Structure 1
Amino acid sequence: MVEKPKVAVVLSGCGVYDGSEIHEAVLTLLAIEKQGATYACFAPNIPQAHVINHLTGQVDTVDTRNVLTEAARIARGAIKDLKEYRADDFDALVFPGGFGAAKNLSSFAFDGAEMRVHADVERAVTETKAAAKPIGALCIAPTILAKLLAPVEVTIGSSPDVAAAVEKMGGRHVVTGHGGVIVDAAAKVATTPCYMLDATITQIDTGANAVVAAVLALARGETPGSVTEAA
């Protein structure tokens, strides 16, 4: 029996405003399994940038939370510290979106194009790149790849401000609609906009499936094409 491809999924907490976007994270995991692969979840063992009350949208000035501990909610406890990630153990690496990607995995939400990327995240990306294995990213997470892998081609949908930041970091931005996926075959990177657009959960499912399909195709040595909008 041929061994199933293994995909590492990096989470950034639990909840759209201060962690991983839950719909994107869960639908990515589901897409991986439905498409014949397996997954393992990782997150950095660090404090969150801050805690957002998801009912009011306000910053909680008292509470503090840990990214790994919160991400474990999505992974049902089956998650490891990102320090333990080794590219040799996996066929691909995927980053769901949510503000945690821009607040905890990086500082894009605060610093824009001058963003910093957390050291564990940078090591995971650069190690995967050096191993010539594909990387996928959803929503705002492609900004991390633009920062680390420029001049990689990515999409975050159609936000002019974020697209300008991607370009300033040396990336190449392509405008996409719902379910679109941009594949930079040379860099082995696939990205999709998800909730960077005003989207339904069905449209998120389409995007998650598209980016996972592209990443798995790249892992097989195939060259999938980009699609700017789902049919």
Structure 2
Amino acid sequence: MNSKKKFAVILAGSGVYDGSEIHEATLALYAISKNGGEYQIFAPNIDQHHVVNHLTGEEMAETRNVLVEAARIARGNIKDLKEFKAGDFDAILFPGGFGVAKNLCSLAFDGADCNVDSGIENVLREMHKAAKPIAALCIAPALIAKVISNVEVTIGQDAGTAEAITQMGAIHVNTNHGEIVFDKENKIVTTPCYMLDATIAQIGEGAEKVVKTIMALSI
């Protein structure tokens, strides 16, 4: 195992309903560090689609910035996605959360016809072109399905989301707690996390399997 593999981790804000899922993000970072890797966190410098009160589930009448909110999870150690360079990293990882489907793309509103943020699209294409591993948790595999053709991914077992991924031209594989789908040809590793009714322990298990699979690759 190469202890120096460096991951770029891309966040979509802070909080499951309008940003990145905090458990998924934190446990992914933990898995990278625990297994001898390093990481740098990035987020796009854009406004969130909206702000949700996580206590009531209601929309709030204010505007927040994805990069500023994601900095909460990163403890301030975060960079604008515009600074990302594929040559600096061995792999890239996207935690889930509704912010992926609202801020990084429009999946939550447009389904299979969604648009992906141009910065996110560029990053995915750069890493894929460089034949470097791409990891995605929860709903984030939909980003890969939209940008990269004919990939094999999982979001768990949700029929509607799986159908949207199929319409995008990807292959969806049903999975259960802690399971991964590894598209070896494209070096893409995905796991369902909170797309299933999961415990935090199951989130950690899935995140660690994703990271260990990438760490075992020759990059």
The TM-score range, normalised by the shorter chain, is over 0.9
Deviations 1:79-108 (A, max 9, x none): 000011000000000000000110111110
Q: Which letter does structure 2 place at the counterpart of 1:59?
A: E
- 1:175-214 to 2 correspondences below 5 Å: 175-214=174-213
In 1, the alpha carbon distance for the partners of 2:96 and 2:35 equals 20
1:39-77 deviation digits (Å, cap 9, x = unpaired)? 0000000000000000000111x2110000000000000
Amino acid at match of 1:99: F
Q: How far apart, in 1, do the equivalents of 2:3 and 2:181 lie?
A: 28
- Structure 2: which amino acid aligns with 1:138? L
Counterpart residue number, 1:229: none
Q: Say if 2:27 is the partner of 1:22.
A: no
SS at match of 2:119: helix
Could you say which residue in structure 2 is the equivalent of 1:138? 137
2:9 maps to amino acid: V
Q: Residues 63-142 of structure 1: matches in 2 within 5 Å? A: 63-142=62-141
Taking the aligned partners of 2:3 and 2:106, their CA distance within structure 1 comes to 37
Q: Distance in 2 between matches of 1:123 and 1:53?
A: 31
Letter of the 1:210 partner, please give it: K
Q: TM-score, normalised by structure 1?
A: 0.93
Q: Which runs of 5+ in 2 are unaligned?
A: none
Partner of 1:225: none
Task: Give structure 1 stretches of 5+ with no counterpart.
Answer: 222-231
1:203 to partner: Cα distance: 0.3
Offset at 1:217? 2.4
- The match for 2:35 is 35
Specify the code of the residue in structure 1 equivalent to 2:188.
Answer: V
1:149 Cα offset (Å): 1.1
Distance 1:56 1:33, change over 3 A: same
Q: TM-score, normalised by structure 2?
A: 0.98
Q: CA deviation at 1:3?
A: 6.4
Deviation at 1:14, TM superposition (A): 0.1
SS in 1 for 2:144: helix
Identity of aligned residues (%): 59
Q: Which residue of 2 aligns with 1:10?
A: 10
CA displacement, residues 156-190 of structure 1 (integer Å, 9 cap, x when unaligned): 00000000000000000000000010000001100
Shift of 1:25: 0.1
Secondary structure, counterpart of 1:104 in structure 2: helix
Q: How many residues align?
A: 218
Q: CA deviation at 1:212?
A: 1.0
Q: Give 4+ residue runs of structure 1 displaced > 4 Å after superposition.
A: none
Paired residue type of 1:7: F
Residue identity opposite 1:169 in structure 2: M
**1:48 aligns to what?**
48
Aligned residue number for residue 57 of structure 1: 57
Q: Name the CA distance, whole Å, in 1 between partners of 2:215 and 2:109.
A: 32
